[in-house]
Structure 1
Amino acid sequence: MVSLVQPQPIIYVLEPFGGSARLHNPMLPHVFHDDAAVTRGDGVFEAILLLGGEPTNLDRHAARFASSAARLGLPAPYLGQWREVTAAAAQAWHAQHGEKHPAARCTWTYTRGRESTGVPSAWVTVGAEPREHARARAEGARALTGPRGYQVDTGDKAAPWLTTGAKTLNYAANMAALRHAKQNGFDDVIFVDTETGRVLEATTSTVIVVKKGRRLRTPRPGQDILSGTSQQALFEYAGQRGYKCKVKDLYVDDLLSAESVWLVSSVRRGVRVTAVNEVELPAPKNAAEIAALIDAALAD
């Protein structure tokens, strides 16, 4: 019988200015009542796939983490410290749970910290990959399209305080969109710009379109679309193997006419979209090939 109980995560709490790190008991709290992560969603994070006790695509994650912190005006993270702690946590997880959980999720969390002290909070967590990820990879995802609920001015007059290009902790709207999708018989939402009809991104992933002729396309990242570390790894890897990869504006019609559509993210990896709104998308002959390409790119 397969146990339904996931093992306890491994947590390291970091001193945010390059100091020490300590192993934390996952059964005890470590975030204070006045931490900005709790009271304001004011902080950044990265989710990193671990395979065989090793972090994948780490350079891109670290670069985006530093960029996100800068966008929020947080002190620059000491990336060497984050890397060292990640290696220690990943190796500990692999030693304890690697046989049953060879794939795991590592999360970096960095917040503005306590209102009473002004000192940022930082921690690294390694835990089991959510079970629903394997199901999604096997079964695919039915996606609704819809507005994000707000428009982002990406022109010269864009508000400089907008943080949409950062991977922040403020995911309440995304989670609400996911709940709405599931309440209506779908698995995810692909956001679409209401003014232009452009495809943006899904709630927690990047949209990838596969077209005939070994062509891969993804929406142009910018202030209204988070730059995807997994998409970057995929395009680099696939480009070296003869795929023609391009960043360009996409529209819903591009989803419907594609050979296949995928939602790509670091830990969930590649999930094929099986329906857009009420339109079923049949599985192409190369679905297994594309899934394997995504897995290989993220493990490279």
Structure 2
Amino acid sequence: MVVLVAGGPEGPRPRVHPAGEPLLLADDLAAVRGDGCFETLLVVGGRPAKPERHLARLARSASALGLRGPTADQWEAGMALAAREWGPESEGMLRLVLSRGPERGGPETAYITVAPVGPHAVRARAQGIAVTVLGRGFPADFAASAPWMLLGAKTLSYAANMAALRHAAANGFDDVVYLSSEAEVLEGPRSTVVIARSGGLVSPPAEVGILEGTTLGALAEVARRDGVPVHRERLLLSDLLTADAVWLLSSVTLAARVRRIDDVTLDGADPGIDVAGMVDRAVGRA
């Protein structure tokens, strides 16, 4: 399903666009250059999960790209329409897309899609995942010195991330953890790294050039109410290998426990922190 969202304060209300009919022009810069940004969130019980966090991050990404986009109210109206059309019977993957628009010139393009949650996400929640470690090739402080690289923005330029995931799959892994050139832990291609250690949760800080995780932020609120401390600090691969548990968090898969890192099988003992349960509560699944 596709919902077309108009930009600008005077734009029309969002409307359902037939999924089988063309939407983008052939020279739309989303298609030809990946010049735009997006957000993906879960639809649970007919409602989008943590939309305010995603809209705030989308606004930051759009600002970094010099895009205006629809107003927050217009996006919210589009998400509400998309979620109603999807219905409460099953979970959905809702994606907000903002493109610079046609290369020849013209207004920005903004739309929303909703699709079923894939079986790989359901399997990762239930069974956990094996990940491989790959170098990203940047130092951990690169984002601060090279803002034009857009390392903290969720852009449509995902070819390298998808190539990393295909490389992982070809070698028998489910996902990837990126390291900086100094071997600091960064993030996954579509996820945030979190470890359990000494009764608390730890995740790398945004300052190392990673996307600020909306699921991590929602989890942190629930964790603090439960008396579980959440810290942001720089991590090395050794911290993952010696942690009480490791997860990759994302908005659709939610919490996937890491069972193996390359050829090292991690301790599968109960870490004493129900991260999956807290994430479920944070997004309205429990």
Considering the TM-score relative to the shorter chain, is it more than 0.5?
Answer: yes
Moved more, 261-270 or 24-33: 24-33
After TM superposition, give the deviation of residue 222 of structure 1 in Å: 2.7
Deviation string, structure 1 residues 146-192 (Cα, Å, up to 9, x no partner): 21144464476x12322111100011000000011111111111001
Residue 218 of structure 1: aligned partner: 203
Contact 1:238 1:297 in 2 (8 A): no
Residue 217 of structure 2 aligns to a residue whose secondary structure is helix
Residue 72 of structure 1: aligned partner: 65
Extract unaligned runs of 5+ from structure 2: none
2:29 & 2:173 partners in 1: Cα distance? 33
Q: Does 1:182 align with 2:169?
A: yes
Contact 2:196 2:271 in 1 (8 A): no
- Counterpart amino acid of residue 143 in structure 1: V
After TM superposition, give the deviation of residue 223 of structure 1 in Å: 6.0
TM-score, normalisation: structure 2: 0.94
Residue 6 of structure 1: aligned partner: none
Q: Structure 1 residues 161 and 89, CA, compared in 2 at 3 Å: closer, same or farther?
A: same
After TM superposition, give the deviation of residue 282 of structure 1 in Å: 2.6
Contact 2:40 2:93 in 1 (8 A): yes
The number of residue pairs the alignment matches comes to: 283
- Counterpart amino acid of residue 208 in structure 1: V
Q: 1:141 aligns with which of 124, 129, 136?
A: 129
Extract unaligned runs of 5+ from structure 1: 1-9
Residue 276 of structure 1: aligned partner: 261
2:224 & 2:120 partners in 1: Cα distance? 30
- Counterpart amino acid of residue 206 in structure 1: T
Q: Structure 1 residues 25 and 274, CA, compared in 2 at 3 Å: closer, same or farther?
A: same
Residue 5 of structure 1: aligned partner: none
Percent of pairs identical after alignment? Answer: 40
Residue 249 of structure 1: aligned partner: 234
Alignment of 1:76-155 (within 5 A): 76-94=69-87, 98-99=88-89, 101=90, 103-151=91-139, 153-154=141-142
Q: 1:171 aligns with which of 155, 158, 177?
A: 158
1:279 & 1:176 partners in 2: Cα distance? 23
2:157 & 2:280 partners in 1: Cα distance? 28
After TM superposition, give the deviation of residue 239 of structure 1 in Å: 0.9
Q: 1:14 aligns with which of 5, 24, 27?
A: 5
Q: CA RMSD in A?
A: 1.7
After TM superposition, give the deviation of residue 245 of structure 1 in Å: 0.7
Q: Structure 1 residues 198 and 152, CA, compared in 2 at 3 Å: closer, same or farther?
A: closer
- Counterpart amino acid of residue 230 in structure 2: C
- Counterpart amino acid of residue 55 in structure 1: P
